[in-house]
Structure 1
């Protein structure tokens, strides 16, 4: 015995499974596309429903970590360094006869990488890449241009 008409919509739904599945997937994709946050392009004003991060104060920007390549005068000391080590960078400050005192340029800098020596002409010292605050990177660049730099392990 067969009972007719009890669930006509369910019968129709079962006959058109592929179409229902396609419609369901399309609706899900549309719902997900509307909820995924999109980052604002440079110069674009964020939409009102988006939460934009406030610009960092000047003090926070100077404390942001950057990577800085530094040439250390003693290549043998650089060979002892490994990524993750903490070092203090010291500027020699010129000739000792002139009375210039050594000074610490960056304290607690994290070693990011120790590149292999290049194949080109040998320069004095060896390169090391450090992660330091932005203001310390500027001091490192200035000190490296004016005289030799050394590292002290922490």
Structure 2
């Protein structure tokens, strides 16, 4: 018996063909993004319409004006004013920063007089340059109710004022 040599099968030629193009594939992502944007815009428009429809109306205003302006919420008027106060110890004022809360204490000129708290929880709004105060103390600006500002002014005229941080 003899060996038969291996003969590969005949090769076939692949016929030429045009490249495949997926229909609309180039702009598919762009269209999906636009659809999502439209859906988001529609959702936001519906939310705005629902909020506008559920807003409380002021019966004293005409209907057309109430639709175009956003209603103001009434806030209780606290009559908070800025009160400049001279504190006896300038070094204490250098510790203060705007936004701090302090209690203001008035001490009389004589030793037998007691100290009293003039303002509690006053918010520091400004701390002018405390180095210029010298022995005369230093200025600090506090946000307090109007009645407390009057008490601070009176106490500052007759007593030495000090602050404690809250």
TM-score range, shorter chain: 0.5 to 0.7
* Bigger radius of gyration: 2
Structure 1 runs of 4+ with >2 Å offset: 48-51
CA displacement at 1:147 relative to structure 2: 1.4
Name the counterpart of 1:149: 161
Alignment of 1:101-116 (within 5 A): 101-116=114-129
Q: 1:63-142 residue pairs with structure 2 within 5 A?
A: 63-96=78-111, 99-117=112-130, 122=134, 124-142=136-154
Give the Cα separation in 2 of the matches to 1:100 and 1:122.
25
Query: Whose RCO is larger (CA < 8 A, sep 6+)?
Result: 1
Output the CA distance in 2 between the equivalents of 1:80 and 1:122. 16
Which ranges in structure 2 are unaligned for 5 or more consecutive residues? 1-60, 67-71
Task: Supply the distance in 1 between the matched residues of 2:110 and 2:159 (Cα, whole angstroms).
Answer: 9
**Are residues 122 and 76 of structure 1, via their aligned partners in 2, closer, same or farther at CA, if it must alter by over 3 Å?**
closer
RMSD in angstroms over aligned alpha carbons?
A: 2.7
Q: Which runs of 5+ in 1 are unaligned?
A: 1-47
- Asked if the contact 2:83/2:143 (under 8 Å) is kept, the reply is yes
Shift, 1:101, TM fit: 0.7
* TM-score of the superposed pair, with normalisation by structure 1: 0.56
* Residues paired across the two proteins, number: 98
With structure 2 as the length reference, what TM-score do the two structures score?
Answer: 0.52
